[in-house]
Structure 1
Amino acid sequence: MVTLSPQLIENLDLSAGGILGQSARIDPFHVRKLNEDDMVEELDMSDELLKRLKAENIDALISVVGGQGLSILYKLHRKGLNTVCVPRSIDNDIASTSVSFGFNSALSFTIEMLDRARQAAQSARKIAVVEVQGAQAGWLALQAGIAACADAVLIPEISCDLKILAGRLKDKISPRRPYGLVVVAEGAKFIKKTQKEESTSSLKASLSPLATGEASDHVIHRSGMAAETVATGLQLLIAEETYPLVIGPWVRGGTPTAVDRQLGMAYGAGALQALKAGKNGVMVAFVPPEIKFIPLAEAINKVRTVSADSEFLKIADSLGIYCGR
């Protein structure tokens, strides 16, 4: 544990937000440990966690967490933990809030990297295929792609036909403009031609020697697969050379933007107000122009996705950016 004193907070470097660390990957209800037989088993350590918090005289917990963390905190709340949650997501996919803490910083860095990729593609006369974060929601890819004036943006919400994408790129590429920029969210989906074949269980398909990363949930999806899929598919359909680039989780580092600093201060102040007002088991949400408190039960198990009538999709269409539709 790190004791947060006023002096420590004042002297923290602006880029050292990771001093507190993250534990979203560690679910206290499912802790993997080796037993006496050297076999991995899952244990429920939630009671031990609550006892430790009580021993440290911690009356309430303000947690800066993502979607998985919200579900964990909700279960801990039901077991007696006093908690207020602040939404953190560089994908901006947490429901019940317009902007999650960390999204603007990730967006700014992604736009900067896309600008560099565009310049490199222009110089090398190639098509840059850049993969960004966004397993379930395409906010980061869409907003960054619009800002960088990409030729195409592929997001999880809209399945893409690579043949149509290749045709759109052919129309744009010319001797005067011999390059292109395609932004791909890591969770982008692609339309495939259906073939008649015997039905196979998802587990058997994933274990097949010819299994791909999309065989089923039994396969471990790796970073860069979306960019490689698009780059390889385009290379087979058009004459121009393509090259994939993965920004991925590297957007998590760096100094927070001014917007995120202000948003973080507002979320922190709101969390304290909630505790002082006796509110418990809630998430602080930014619903312009106000800060509201949403019960955790209403905030979990939901994903904020890009709707079909999103203004950002309309902006992309007006700019001639192909988004799969």
Structure 2
Amino acid sequence: MKQPIRRIAISTGGGDAPGLNAVISSVVWAAANRGWECVGIRDGFNGILSPQHYPRGGTELLSRDRVRGIAHLGGTILGTTNKGDPFHFPVRQADGSLVEVDRSGEILDYFKREGIDALVIAGGDGTLTIGNELHRRGLRVVGVPKTIDNDLDKTHTTFGFDTAVSFATECLDRLHSTAESHQRVMVVEMMGRYAGWIALHAGISGGAHAILMPEIPYDIEKVAAAIRERDAHGRLYSLVVVAEGARAQQGQRALLASAEAGHAERLGGIGEQVARELAERTGKDARVVVLGHLLRGGSPTTFDRLAAKRFGTAAVRALDEGHSGVMVALSHPNVIYVPLTEVAGRMKAVPPDSDTLQTGRDLGICFGD
């Protein structure tokens, strides 16, 4: 029988997302109401693995007062990183090169030394893969699904997605008027490395005329033809939404930097590429707007705020009920527990038979195929 829980830790990893602070505060409150202490780890696990970088300490004891009034704030008070995988931790050598080292044992040693009985880990597929591996090595772990891209499997949605889509839609609303005034093609590049959920939902909601996403390799001539057809009917402007991971049928994803030790590949530049090709094929002035990290910032919407609080409290309940190696997930109308093995390393792409995708096609939106 596992020992009773007296102290837990919480870590936030990967890209930041609106709602992380709501998760942190709800975990702390739900834990405190059970008589548990809650330790916050800074910047994923870097607070443990690189404590020398934190003058005030790489971890902190989170009280009710410390997290009071933070649920509406964007970002995360603990900080986050996508460069601190303890199983593949980047260490610079004397010659300047980077090598990956397994430092996971230091995490387990720290938890044992500090009397921390369990971990709540909030993140996307990479972070939850780390959580699953720590669980396999004996640590009690519950994951919380976090990504603005909504590409985590086994959950209806992730917190952060609704906020990102809402802001992207507002941007498209604003761009309609300026695009129409100048009779331009506006290409709007959005986040979405390997899944086009943001582009699809915001594009349809914001009245885009074409949506290009990773799941559907596009033919640029078909997009240009759709724009020319709009012109022929007197609709002299067009909005084209492009997910950063979109690619042409015979092309590759646009990269800013290739993957290396401790760093995933960085995508970007597809908006400029699409705009240039559309200008050449249509003769129209084409401009680019890159929303980028604007989608990650700001206060979470009501939906994301509530989802984050539901996930945070459910994670504590899961631990209290004796669960480990699970992720809390939204399965309307309830929050359920899903084994991390069914989530770690997997990605949820937009399915070709998606009702939302079919809605876009029925509305006449061009997907470049």
Specify if TM > 0.5. yes
What is the 5 A alignment of 1:1-325?
Answer: 1-12=59-70, 14-36=72-94, 38-174=96-232, 176-192=234-250, 213=254, 222-325=266-369
The letter for the 2-side match of 1:114 is L
Secondary structure (helix, strand or coil) at the match of 1:32 reads strand
The letter for the 2-side match of 1:301 is G
Percent identity of equivalent pairs: 38
Q: Structure 1 CA distance, aligned partners of 2:133 and 2:154?
A: 19
Which residues of structure 2 form unaligned runs of 5+? 1-58
The letter for the 2-side match of 1:267 is F
Q: Structure 2 CA distance, aligned partners of 1:79 and 1:186?
A: 36
Segments of 4+ moved more than 6 angstroms = 216-220
Secondary structure (helix, strand or coil) at the match of 1:146 reads helix
Q: Report if aligned partners of 1:159, 1:189 keep a CA contact under 8 Å in 2.
A: yes
Q: Report if aligned partners of 2:253, 2:267 keep a CA contact under 8 Å in 1.
A: no
Change (3 A) 1:304 1:126: same
The letter for the 1-side match of 2:319 is L
- What do the CA deviations read for 1:242-276 (whole angstroms, capped 9, x no partner)? 01111122211100000001101111121111101
Change (3 A) 1:175 1:134: same
276-285 or 73-82, which deviates more: 73-82
Q: Structure 2 CA distance, aligned partners of 1:67 and 1:229?
A: 29
Q: Report if aligned partners of 1:121, 1:179 keep a CA contact under 8 Å in 2.
A: yes
**CA displacement at 1:222 relative to structure 2:** 5.0
The letter for the 1-side match of 2:235 is R
Q: Structure 1 CA distance, aligned partners of 2:124 and 2:133?
A: 15
**CA displacement at 1:311 relative to structure 2:** 0.5
- What do the CA deviations read for 1:48-74 (whole angstroms, capped 9, x no partner)? 122122233221111111111011111
**CA displacement at 1:226 relative to structure 2:** 1.2
Give the alignment's TM-score, normalised by structure 2. Answer: 0.78
Change (3 A) 1:136 1:40: closer
The letter for the 2-side match of 1:230 is V
Q: Structure 2 CA distance, aligned partners of 1:11 and 1:212?
A: 41
Name the Cα RMSD after superposition.
2.3
230-239 or 30-39, which deviates more: 30-39
16-25 or 131-140, which deviates more: 16-25
The letter for the 2-side match of 1:255 is S
Which residues of structure 1 form unaligned runs of 5+? 194-210
Q: Report if aligned partners of 1:165, 1:324 keep a CA contact under 8 Å in 2.
A: yes
- What do the CA deviations read for 1:192-226 (whole angstroms, capped 9, x no partner)? 39xxxxxxxxxxxxxxxxx9957x96799655411
